[in-house]
Amino acid sequence: MDLKLMIYLVVGATFVVYIGIAIWARAGSTGEFYVAGKGVNPIANGMATAADWMSAASFISMAGLIAFLGYSGSVYLMGWTGGYVLMALLLAPYLRKFGKFTVPQFVGDRFYSNGARIVAVICLLIISITYVIGQMRGVGIAFSRFLEVDILWGLIAGMSIVFVYAVLGGMKGITYTQIAQYVVLIFAYTVPAVFISIQLTGHFLPQTGLGATLSSDDSRYLLEALDGMMVDLGFAEYTTNATFSTLNMFLLTMALMIGTAGLPHVIIRFFTVPRVRDARKSAGWALIFIALLYTTAPAVGAMAMYNLVNTLYPGGVGNVSEAMVYDERPDWMRTWENTGLLQFDDKNEDGRIQYYNQNNPPAFVAENDLQGDELVRLDRDIMVLANPEIASLPNWVIALVAAGGIAAALSTAAGLLLAISSAISHDLLKGVFMPKISEKNELMAGRISMAAAILLAGYLGLNPPGFAAEVVALAFGLAASSLFPVLMLGIFYKRMNKEGAIAGMLTGLITTLLYIFLYKGWFFIPGTNLLADDPSGWILGISPQGFGTIGAVLNVTVALIVCKLTAPPPKEIQELVESVRVPRADTA
């Protein structure tokens, strides 16, 4: 069957399932819209949580970053998986026991202040909007490949699908849709990885194939061969850390970890189960489901890069006379060129495609007097989607990967949009400004705010300040610097008062935002980068993605100082904190 027709059939079938579930599980009350009526099975919630958490950054972008960064890209694996463990152990059970719908509601009640609730809403909106930029970029990339159009039209198509099932179904519809999306994305990620691992190393499991010898040369390991290729092209060895300093790697890992634990759209998932015990169970199941993808990602990245280089240099790296002829390039390259995410420029007019490190040209470049990198642009975010095509896998596998990429982007985008919606309708309108609003009007306000968020996220997705995983890392840094400290202090330090909480959140959020804007640009206004993301200007070499750790330290420091200088919280609040933290018989 023709590839395009196969993709239409597979992706179209998944859309029918998603929209059908949204209609079947349509939310009829605010309880169903926000927390699915607190009736989701722990295993099902674990699967939905995994889909919610494993975004376009995980499915589409992370392996692409690993492919180009090599060992340095492992920081994303360590940070995100470690952060989920922190969330499961330190936050999820206690927040579920507190029993509130949203993170701002917890902050407002714990710190007995509408001011604290409003600041928490502001933090949540900034985090979620930054995060959803990365998802919308992933949506646009997946749909542009699927429809073979420019990324703008791919983005518009994706926004339309999100609008139908997220706005209609709320948390109830999103939960069951995300279960279906998890099934799709995990099969779409692991099946081609298994095929390629067998193809390259003879190993069924990609995790063992990564450390195995090549089928074509059983005297060389895959990573050994990849190291040699990278060096021959003028890059650092694949298995060395050539990107981050030790300080930067530590700060980025910490920012990703504590940022994960502070993500409001994931935390809210633990309110959808009936009991505190079920929150713990669903956290454990989610970690298992997440591990299936995250242990596969390093193999996907390495094998994708190995296949790409061999595709561009069929006669061997450095053998320019046998490099790929542009007019004979495979169909997958032509397709990705249509999206604008893959571009060539034959600078020496020899009709062949070259790829190497411009800043450190290898010997064969000097010998042949090539003028710069002829592979002008190969967007890292296309590597996973293009991987099965590069490896010449069957059309049904390629179609499955397209469906998986879309599922990953849509699942997290929906969760983020719901967090934005509930923050505006439930925490601001119902909780602060319009406490007597009817349930019907609150539900309508939630859907309107979600629709507005989709439009804003779509615009920002056209002008992202980096690749999908890099943009998501910025959101994690913002969560690390603003919400994670106040949640931890609110649960484990009963002396923390509203003044300290508000001062800490504002300090962490503002300092981190300023650092991001300074070095990544005011990305919502295209063309306004101040320092053009120049690493040489970073303060103490700290990247914008890693600054969230510094913001978190500032948050806690200011919160503790202000807390000590002001009155303690009321006695009933301290007793409430004690009751949430101390284990008791399981409750609803």
List for the chain the helix, strand, coil content (%; round to 5).
75, 0, 25
Supply the pLDDT for residue 496. Answer: 93
Supply the pLDDT for residue 381. Answer: 76
Q: What is the pLDDT of residues 342-357, one digit of tens each?
A: 878 777 677 777 777 7
Q: What is the pLDDT of residues 194-214, one digit of tens each?
A: 999 999 999 999 999 999 999
Regarding predicted confidence, which is higher, 234 or 521?
234
Rounded (5°) CA angle 275-476-113: 60
Written as one letter, the residue type at 334 is R
> Residue 266 — φ and ψ, nearest 5°?
-90, -40
d(CA 114, CA 231): 58
Domain ranges of the chain: 3-304+388-581
Q: What's the average model confidence in pLDDT over 290-314?
A: 88
Q: What's the average model confidence in pLDDT over 324-349?
A: 79
Written as one letter, the residue type at 221 is Y
Asked whether the predicted pLDDT for residue 334 surpasses 90, the reply is no
d(CA 253, CA 263): 15
Asked whether the predicted pLDDT for residue 369 surpasses 70, the reply is no
pLDDT confidence bin for 37, thresholds 50/70/90? very low
CB 130 within 8 A of CB 292: no
User: Domain 3-304+388-581 sits in which CATH superfamily?
Assistant: Sodium/glucose cotransporter (1.20.1730.10)
Q: What's the average model confidence in pLDDT over 570-583?
A: 81
Q: What is the pLDDT of residues 93-144, one digit of tens each?
A: 777 777 666 788 888 888 988 889 899 988 988 888 888 777 777 777 777 7
Supply the pLDDT for residue 335. Answer: 82
What residues form DSSP beta bridges with 325?
352
- Phi-psi group of 189: left, alpha or beta (phi > 0 → left; psi -120 to 50 → alpha; rest → beta): alpha
Written as one letter, the residue type at 25 is A
Asked whether the predicted pLDDT for residue 523 surpasses 50, the reply is no
Q: What's the average model confidence in pLDDT over 493-500?
A: 92
pLDDT confidence bin for 267, thresholds 50/70/90? confident
d(CA 204, CA 227): 23
Asked whether the predicted pLDDT for residue 566 surpasses 90, the reply is yes
Rounded (5°) CA angle 366-369-374: 100
3 state SS of 266: helix
pLDDT confidence bin for 1, thresholds 50/70/90? low
Q: What is the pLDDT of residues 106-118, one digit of tens each?
A: 888 889 888 898 9
Written as one letter, the residue type at 179 is I
pLDDT confidence bin for 318, thresholds 50/70/90? low
d(CA 439, CA 344): 55
Regarding predicted confidence, which is higher, 388 or 146?
388
> Residue 213 — φ and ψ, nearest 5°?
-85, 160
Q: Is the dihedral of CA 133, 512, 59, 466 positive or negative?
A: positive
3 state SS of 220: coil
Asked whether the predicted pLDDT for residue 587 surpasses 60, the reply is no
Supply the pLDDT for residue 43. Answer: 84
Supply the pLDDT for residue 252. Answer: 87
pLDDT confidence bin for 328, thresholds 50/70/90? confident
Token reading at 200 = 């390259």
Mean pLDDT of the chain: 79
Supply the pLDDT for residue 466. Answer: 59
Asked whether the predicted pLDDT for residue 340 surpasses 60, the reply is yes
Token reading at 268 = 């809210």
Supply the pLDDT for residue 524. Answer: 45
Supply the pLDDT for residue 489. Answer: 92
- Total residue length of the chain: 588
SS in 3 state form for 425-493? HHHHHHHHHCCCCCHHHHHHHHHHHHHHHHHHHHHHHHCCCCCHHHHHHHHHHHHHHHHHHHHHHHHHC
Percent of the chain with pLDDT over 90: 15
- Give the dihedral of Cα atoms 172, 177, 178, 179; nearest 10 deg: 100
d(CA 427, CA 120): 9
